[in-house]
């Protein structure tokens, strides 16, 4: 064990040295000033839109007076401060959002909707609890995560309070903005786990209770008499729940996100692609189910998303439907079709299933996370069998790059876990005696092989995560390859023909 650890450490140091050498030869990054200016203009347009919405009733004053009056000037200063704060925060937390003009414009549009509705309510005398702050924060949580939703919800609640405020009046804004923010936080936490559509109704009632509680508390704290606004606070939560339940599929389609509801629907093995896989490639179908079990258990062990890991495992090899007979798990008794092909042609056929699978997934409108897993589940790993076969036939003139998968390498925890689970499940079938000790050594060897080949360089897995993944794989594989007591009348080990396959060593279940 110590010898294996020292050998692994030496190989890791060598791989790290190679990466540093490559990094020093890379060209410096070029700063695109035009794109930065375009993003700044989008941000300026968002600030201007918020300012004009909050002061839409003051526009008749003209630009000069509008920017010299105390209240509009204070709003402008506050908006600039908020813009700087959000810009820095998003630059750190969501660089892809701040780096895309279209995404930034959509984000700004979502932020301005509650402010616009609040100002219309203030000018028309309608209840401030008609502001859809909870629904907007829910969408932001689905698209960008709960941390961004919490920060954005606080900022938009503050701007909503400004939009609700009338000249010489602060009570309405104060008593409405806080309950709206409280309800929005309930929707933010509710967006994390949505396994049933009725869950949105439950979150709606929870948000309604929070808003009622804060509305009553705010009115009493400010020395006001209780009004009917508490009733509107309850109505806001319930209507938001009903509305989001109805439009959730539209939100998923428009914002290109996938909830646990859609993933659970995809995990149904009666899906058309899974039925085709079971019918035309039964070996691949069974392999995918086992990989799903391995990946789901490993994802739970390291804090990744087990549902995405399981669903991604089910679909990761759908590209094999194009030529199922060219893959060993589907060969049956007719022998390998690769015996009549050159190694380079075999590598082209095998490698094509990644591209074919991604195209099939896009045609079936599978979520982008699943398409990414299909593209990344082999990374740029080497097809060792055909590579060594080609070297034995052609000598050292063989280019290794010709026998590697097209990539890209895994970029998420789930994609990396599925890569490892796929490798381990396929290779474990070759073990003559899959005892727990052999499985543990085998899984470690395969995992280190992928690590030292650089296939895990682009994903956020740590060494501790890799250890937990290996341990979970060994537990699942030990359960799969469990031994059984031979039934009476079956031949014992000494009575069996040496030509009997290893699968017949124990009686069938």
**Is 164 within 8 Å of 122 (Cβ atoms)?**
yes
Q: Which helix (H) or strand (E) holds 216?
A: helix 198-221
**Of the candidates 162, 150, 130, 134, the residue with the CA atom closest to the CA atom of residue 233:** 130
User: What's the pLDDT at 234?
Assistant: 86
Q: Which helix (H) or strand (E) holds 324?
A: none
In order of 118, 133, 176, 178, the CA distances from 181 in angstroms are 13, 7, 9, 5
User: What's the pLDDT at 277?
Assistant: 93
Residue 405, phi then psi, degrees to nearest 5: -65, 155
**Is 53 within 8 Å of 45 (Cβ atoms)?**
no
Long-range CB pairs of 81-86 (<8 Å, 24+ gap) are 82/155, 82/158, 82/159, 83/43, 83/46, 83/47, 85/155, 86/151, 86/152, 86/155
User: What's the pLDDT at 194?
Assistant: 78
Q: For the chain, what are the domain ranges?
A: 35-257, 265-483
User: What's the pLDDT at 30?
Assistant: 45
Q: Which two tokens stand for residue 479?
A: 């359960």
265-483 maps to which CATH number?
Answer: 1.10.3210
User: What's the pLDDT at 66?
Assistant: 61
Contacts of 457 (CB under 8 A, 6+ apart): 19, 409
Would you tell me how many other CB atoms lie within 10 Å of the CB of residue 260? 17
Would you tell me how many other CB atoms lie within 10 Å of the CB of residue 395? 8
User: What's the pLDDT at 62?
Assistant: 59
In order of 117, 220, 356, 429, 454, the CA distances from 442 in angstroms are 61, 68, 30, 11, 19
pLDDT along the chain (509 residues), means of 10: 49 49 44 59 76 69 60 80 86 80 85 90 84 91 88 90 70 72 90 78 89 82 68 86 85 79 88 92 94 96 93 95 90 79 92 94 90 95 91 83 92 96 89 86 94 94 95 93 66 47 32
User: What's the pLDDT at 502?
Assistant: 34
Strands (E), 338-490: none
Specify the pTM.
0.73
User: What's the pLDDT at 226?
Assistant: 62
User: What's the pLDDT at 59?
Assistant: 61
Q: Collapsing DSSP states into helix, strand and coil, what is residue 158?
A: helix
């Amino acid at each position: 064990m110590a010898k294996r650890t020292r050998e692994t450490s030496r190989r890791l140091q060598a791989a790290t040295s190679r990466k540093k050498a490559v990094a020093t030869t890379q060209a410096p990054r070029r700063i695109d000033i035009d794109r930065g200016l375009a993003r700044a203009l989008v941000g300026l347009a968002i600030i201007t839109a918020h300012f004009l919405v909050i002061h839409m009733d003051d526009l008749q004053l003209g630009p000069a007076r509008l920017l010299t009056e105390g209240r509009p000037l204070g709003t402008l200063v506050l908006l600039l401060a908020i813009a700087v704060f959000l810009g820095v925060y998003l630059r750190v937390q969501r660089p892809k959002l701040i780096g895309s003009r279209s995404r930034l414009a959509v984000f700004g549009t979502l932020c301005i909707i509650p402010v616009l509705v609040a100002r219309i309510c203030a000018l028309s005398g309608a209840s401030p609890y008609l502001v859809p702050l909870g629904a907007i924060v829910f969408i932001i949580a689905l698209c960008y995560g709960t941390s961004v939703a919490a920060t954005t919800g606080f900022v938009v609640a503050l701007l909503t309070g400004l939009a609700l405020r009338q000249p010489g009046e602060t009570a309405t804004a104060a008593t409405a903005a806080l309950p709206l923010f409280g309800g929005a936080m309930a929707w933010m936490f509710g967006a994390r786990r949505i396994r049933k559509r009725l869950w949105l109704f439950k979150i709606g009632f929870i948000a309604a209770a929070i808003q009622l509680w804060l509305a009553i508390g705010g009115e009493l704290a400010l020395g006001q008499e209780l009004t009917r606004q508490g009733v509107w606070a309850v109505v806001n939560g319930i209507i938001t729940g009903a509305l989001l339940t109805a439009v959730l599929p539209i939100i998923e389609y428009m914002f290109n996100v996938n909830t646990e509801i859609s993933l659970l629907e995809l995990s149904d093995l009666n899906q058309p692609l899974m039925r085709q896989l079971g019918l035309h490639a039964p070996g691949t179908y069974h392999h995918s189910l086992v990989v799903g079990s391995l990946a789901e258990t490993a994802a739970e062990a390291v804090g990744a998303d087990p549902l995405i890991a399981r669903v991604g495992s089910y679909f990761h090899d759908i590209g094999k439907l194009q030529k199922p007979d060219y893959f060993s798990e589907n060969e049956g008794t007719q022998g390998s079709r690769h015996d009549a092909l050159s190694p380079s042609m075999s590598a082209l056929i095998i490698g094509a299933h990644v591209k074919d699978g991604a195209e099939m997934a896009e045609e079936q409108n599978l979520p982008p996370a699943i398409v990414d897993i299909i593209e990344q589940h082999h990374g740029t790993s080497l097809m060792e069998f055909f590579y060594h076969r080609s070297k034995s036939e052609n000598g050292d003139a063989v280019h290794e790059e010709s026998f590697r998968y097209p990539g890209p390498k895994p970029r998420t925890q789930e994609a990396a876990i599925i890569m490892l689970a796929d490798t381990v499940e396929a290779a474990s079938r070759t073990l003559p005696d899959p005892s727990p000790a052999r499985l543990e050594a085998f899984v470690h060897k395969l995992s280190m092989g992928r690590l030292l080949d650089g296939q895990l360089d682009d994903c956020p897995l740590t060494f501790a995560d890799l250890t937990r993944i290996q341990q979970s794989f060994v537990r699942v594989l030990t359960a799969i390859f469990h031994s059984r007591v031979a039934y009476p009348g079956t031949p014992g080990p000494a009575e069996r023909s040496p030509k009997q396959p290893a699968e017949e060593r124990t009686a069938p279940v």
